[in-house]
Structure 1
């Protein structure tokens, strides 16, 4: 039986690998990955089904379906993942302040 510490380490490892996968999903318009853009709000997994809680830069984003397909394809590369569900939320609202320093510099945002 795995200890509580081992289970937490396994969860952290899986979360890290999921974030690594998502860092390869590049927004085609902004040319920055979703993680650095600050669009990923949470990741959870139950019985091989990953739920990605995320937002978009704006309501009615014209590439939302493209991004969702890219996310699914990326996460399904992990052996533990059988299915991906994407939950789009609008609270808290996305703003450039949610971007990483790298993304702000790459996009020339100085706000």
Structure 2
């Protein structure tokens, strides 16, 4: 989303406060400014200057349609499922940074393993980090990853492990991310 947009909330909506990750509710009729509409959420700024995150399931409160589901490759083997996992990971954004978590260099590892009792079902193990230890939005981002991966066909279980070693640094960002953020 390039331009900021002021909207009036059409109903009460649950939000997550950025950057602390606490939950709250905004009331119908409140004016908010859409700051970022990427992935599966909207980052908005309230009339009091608070930044909050609204889930795509609540897009109607903003007068918006939820984003369409991403078309994924039909997957039954671990390699195809892993590709779908990476595609889903590219739809997860830090609410303060308009770059997905893969390009930010936050995802260290994605491993898909067939289940021993049913080879058509798989376990996915993700290792990721955060831009800062103690990031209040960490559990929210982790939840977005888990929810997105769990919804994939052929995935029976998901483990999203947040690690802080090695610590994240700007050097981990892709060239695409650096360009998007004007860091070249």
TM-score w.r.t. the length of structure 1 is 0.82
Q: Which has the higher contact order (CA 8 A, sep 6+)?
A: 1
> Is residue 109 of structure 1 aligned with residue 177 of structure 2?
no
- In the alignment, what sits opposite 1:25? 92
Correspondence for 2:173 among 80, 99, 110: 99
Larger of the two Rg values belongs to structure: 2
- In the alignment, what sits opposite 1:54? 128
How many residues are treated as equivalent by the alignment?
A: 101
Higher relative helix content: 1
CA distance in 1, matches of 2:164, 2:146: 20
Gaps of 5+ in 1: 1-9
- Aligned pairs for 1:1-111 within 5 A: 10-46=77-113, 47=115, 48-110=122-184
Q: Secondary structure at the match of 2:155?
A: coil
Do 2:81 and 2:112's aligned partners in 1 also have CA atoms closer than 8 Å? no
Q: CA RMSD in A?
A: 1.4
CA distance in 1, matches of 2:124, 2:102: 16
CA distance in 2, matches of 1:101, 1:49: 31
Higher relative strand content: 2
